[in-house]
């Protein structure tokens, strides 16, 4: 019985499972949308959201530049620490820059829920349930016909 056992194993050992999710997080943050199995998509959400939250909480480069003295050193240290923690899950320097720049600004006022999973039907070869994982944009509500009053 798997009672009180969190997380899915996907038939992999922990090292290859971790490597798979590192690659998936990097791809999701680079392309803003990926297609994968539904189970992997649901598991991926948590990793991606934690990385984006790291980018949000870290002081921006402009904030660090505006400070002086010990405050500047502390803010710089906090930023470097956050970047190093994000590096554990993201394998690309350009994507790291996007996390701490574009995504931090985009999701600054959003308390969470940066990703969305959309079911895409079965895969032709093995009938596995497929899904798209995508980053939520603020202009998505406008595209789908929702208004500000709703």
Residue 23 lies in a domain: yes
What's the number of domains the chain is made of? 1
Residue 124 lies in a domain: no
- State pTM to two decimals: 0.88
Q: Which domain holds residue 83?
A: 15-32+39-112
**Whole-angstrom Cα distance, residue 61 to residue 63?**
5
pLDDT at 139: 73
Percent of the chain with pLDDT over 90: 83
Query: 142 or 98: which carries more pLDDT confidence?
Result: 98
Residue 1 lies in a domain: no
pLDDT tens-place string over residues 37-75: 999 999 999 999 999 999 999 999 888 989 989 999 999
pLDDT at 144: 55
**Cα dist from 127 to 8, 17, 71, 123, 124, whole Å:** 19, 22, 56, 5, 6
What CATH number is given to the structural domain containing 82? 3.90.1030.10
Residue 121 lies in a domain: no
Residue 2 lies in a domain: no
């Amino acid at each position: 019985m798997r009672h009180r056992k969190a997380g899915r194993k996907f038939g992999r050992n922990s090292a290859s499972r971790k490597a798979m999710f590192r690659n998936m997080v990097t791809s999701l943050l680079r392309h803003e949308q990926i297609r994968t199995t539904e189970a992997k998509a649901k598991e991926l959400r948590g990793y991606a959201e934690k990385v984006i939250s790291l980018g949000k909480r870290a002081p921006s480069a402009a904030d660090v530049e505006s400070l002086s003295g010990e405050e500047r050193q502390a803010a710089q240290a906090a930023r470097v620490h956050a970047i190093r923690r994000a590096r554990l899950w993201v394998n690309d320097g350009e994507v790291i820059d996007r996390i701490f720049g574009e995504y931090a600004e985009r999701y600054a006022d959003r308390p969470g829920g940066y990703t969305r999973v959309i079911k895409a039907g079965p895969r032709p070869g093995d009938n596995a349930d497929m899904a798209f994982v995508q980053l939520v944009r603020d202009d998505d509500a406008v595209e789908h016909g929702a208004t500000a009053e709703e």
